[in-house]
Amino acid sequence: MKIAFIGGGVMGEAILSAVLGQGLSTPQAISVSDIDEARRSYLKRRYGVAVMDSNRLAGERGDVVVLAIKPQNLAEVMAELSGQLKPTQLVLSIIAGARIDTLCLGLDHSPIVRAMPNTPAQIGEGISVWTATAEVTMQQKEWAGSILGAMGKEIYVDDERYIDMATAVSGSGPAYFFLFVESLIDAAVHIGLPHDIAQELVLHTMLGSGYFIQRSDKEPAELRRMVTSPGGTTAEALLQLEKGGFSDLVMQAVRAAYNKAKRLGG
């Protein structure tokens, strides 16, 4: 499979690394365009792929063209690629908020997959939600599924609305998690634990709890109740979170991210 990457940023590199690591393509079959010369040199040195500063030239080389650019650069890139893509090429976009109809119109191209991966993809533990236009062939869907699956888990949806929702949950979700971990470590240090012990306690608690949910046949709410003894320390802590409106804040945060994703799409 020949793959062209338009944009060599963090998520683009995550896909590139996963594709090569899983043997889905070879360095000789991959092209990457990026405006940053230092970034191009780094990608060429580390992965042995062809690099260039021309999006159009890179786009000509792929069976799959991965759009891994920032939303604010989309209009310029679409202008460069409009009318240049072959009908047999698949465009795989990971641009937050960029809707399929915008991509189809701006690129003058129909076979498009829109996906939302997340940052744990960088270590092969990501999750991606994706959808495709009717013009995407079964083979192209297999390509898209294998590329996204190389970074972790992938979920196909037949309604594009779910992509913006996934952006607010799994796309932005790692930042919510990191903030909670950071806050819990700070709280542990505040009550007297050394920072290194606090960090180890919190990280293993988060990881262990995640695995526990994944392997249990119980809902998270039931697991929470199992840990919470009436009148105990956990009950006291949860009472304070409830007083602070923890659940409502989470709801507001996800809603804000979802609305922002929709606004990015125009």
Do 140 and 31 fall within a single domain? yes
- When pLDDT is averaged across residues 97-102 and rounded to a whole number, the result is 92
CATH of the domain at 152: 3.40.50.720
Determine which of 37-41, 65-69, 108-112, 259-263 has the lowest per-residue pLDDT on average.
259-263
What is the structure's pLDDT at 266?
Answer: 64
Tell me: the pLDDT tens digits for 214-245?
Answer: 999 999 999 999 999 999 999 999 999 999 99
Do 115 and 56 fall within a single domain? yes
At 96, the pLDDT band (50, 70, 90 cuts) reads confident
Do 11 and 142 fall within a single domain? yes
Do 181 and 62 fall within a single domain? no
How many helices (H) and strands (E) would you count in the chain?
12, 8
Tell me: the pLDDT tens digits for 167-211?
Answer: 999 999 999 999 999 999 999 999 999 999 999 999 999 999 999
CATH of the domain at 214: 1.10.3730.10
Question: Can you give the residue range of the structural domain that contains 119?
Answer: 3-159
Place of tokens 């090429």: 89
In a domain, 168, yes or no: no
The count of domains in the chain is 2
Strands across the sheet containing 90-93:
50-52, 30-33, 3-6, 64-67, 90-93, 112-116, 126-132, 152-156
In a domain, 116, yes or no: yes
If we measure between CA atoms, which residue out of 37, 41, 42, 29 comes closest to residue 53? 37
Do 103 and 155 fall within a single domain? yes
Do 194 and 86 fall within a single domain? no
Do 193 and 241 fall within a single domain? yes
